[in-house]
């Protein structure tokens, strides 16, 4: 699909201000920091995406993905652009980037249950600053903390300096809403990752030699 035709179709789903075709931005979106040197030298050897799209809600994400799926257009999901593994590298002539920039709302901080509900485009540092003011912490501290976004952290199974204490990002996720390419919206309800129940009773004669996990 040609760029002009693609833009015309996307305008049926999102607004004009939600579509970016600036050539410098498209070049930057062609790869992540894995090819930082090549990008800086302007010698990237991969095609540019045709557009960057900024959905504002789940329904727009769903409609864009369904359109791309039906028309065989490759999709790259992007958060804070801090990736260094090549996951954001474009390899297809017909592709778009879905950027989470407008999905930036911190929906709820539940101090009683120690849970936060946020959108994919929320910066980790912004969330950390907010919960710190309440005497809490996210327990996650990668070097990319000031710019990394929650959607990207979850998608890449992020770890950081505090992960040996609190675990990786996947250990902190209790619920999730995600959209599949065919438009199906999956909502995983808030449940603990592990719930093995109370420990089994151990005979007194064995308590000095057994380690118990639950």
Q: Is 139 left (phi over 0), alpha (psi -120 to 50) or beta?
A: left
Question: For residue 130, what are the CA distances in angstroms to 23, 87, 113, 125?
Answer: 36, 29, 16, 9
Digit-by-digit pLDDT tens for the chain (214 residues) are 889 999 999 999 999 999 999 999 999 999 998 898 999 999 999 999 999 999 999 999 999 999 999 999 999 999 999 988 888 999 999 999 999 999 999 999 999 888 999 999 999 999 999 999 999 999 999 999 999 999 999 999 999 988 998 889 988 888 899 999 999 999 987 776 665 655 555 444 333 333 333 3
- Asked if residue 80 lies in contact with residue 152, where contact means CB atoms within 8 angstroms, the answer is yes
Token pair, residue 143, equals 């070097």
Tell me what pLDDT residue 166 has. Answer: 87
User: Which pLDDT value is given to residue 197?
Assistant: 57
pTM recorded for the entire structure: 0.84
The end-to-end CA distance of the chain, in Å, is: 54
Give, in order, the Cα–Cα distances in Å from 127 to each of 1, 43, 109, 131.
39, 37, 9, 6
Nearest CA among 40, 50, 69 for reference residue 8: 50
The pLDDT of residue 196 is 62
Q: Which residues share a beta bridge with 77?
A: 98
What does the pLDDT read at residue 34?
Answer: 87
Residue 126 C-alpha from the chain's centroid: 15
pLDDT of residue 203: 45
DSSP conformation class of 200 = P
pLDDT confidence of residue 182: 95
Q: How far apart are CA 58 and CA 52, in angstroms?
A: 17
Question: Tokens 């930036």, residue?
Answer: 104
The pLDDT of residue 213:
30
On the question of a common fold for 3-99 and 106-188, the answer reads: no
pLDDT of residue 54: 98
- Cβ neighbours for 192, distance < 8 A, ≥ 6 positions apart: 174
Check the CA dihedral 63-102-42-90 and report its sign: negative
Residue 71 · residue 92 · CB < 8 Å? no
CATH architecture of 3-99: 2-Layer Sandwich (3.30)
CATH code of the domain occupying 106-188: 3.30.465.10
Spell out the domain ranges in the chain: 3-99, 106-188
């Amino acid at each position: 699909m040609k760029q002009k035709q693609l833009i015309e179709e996307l305008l049926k789903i999102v607004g004009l201000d939600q579509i970016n075709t600036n050539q410098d931005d498209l070049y930057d979106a062609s790869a992540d920091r894995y090819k930082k040197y090549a990008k800086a030298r302007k010698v990237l050897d991969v095609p540019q995406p045709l557009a960057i799209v900024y959905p504002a809600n789940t329904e727009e994400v769903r409609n864009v993905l369904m359109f791309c799926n039906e028309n065989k257009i490759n999709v790259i999901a992007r958060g804070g652009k801090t990736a260094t593994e090549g996951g954001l590298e474009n390899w297809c002539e017909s592709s778009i980037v879905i950027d989470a920039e407008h999905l930036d709302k911190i929906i709820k901080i539940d101090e009683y249950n120690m849970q936060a509900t946020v959108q994919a485009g929320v910066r980790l540092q912004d969330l950390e600053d907010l919960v710190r003011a309440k005497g809490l912490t996210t327990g996650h501290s990668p070097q990319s903390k000031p710019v990394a976004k929650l959607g990207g952290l979850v998608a890449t199974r992020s770890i950081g300096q505090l992960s040996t204490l609190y675990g990786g990002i996947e250990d902190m996720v209790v619920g999730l809403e995600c959209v599949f390419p065919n438009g199906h919206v999956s909502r995983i309800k808030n449940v603990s990752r592990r719930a093995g129940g109370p420990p089994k009773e151990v005979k007194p004669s064995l308590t000095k030699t057994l380690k118990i996990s639950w």
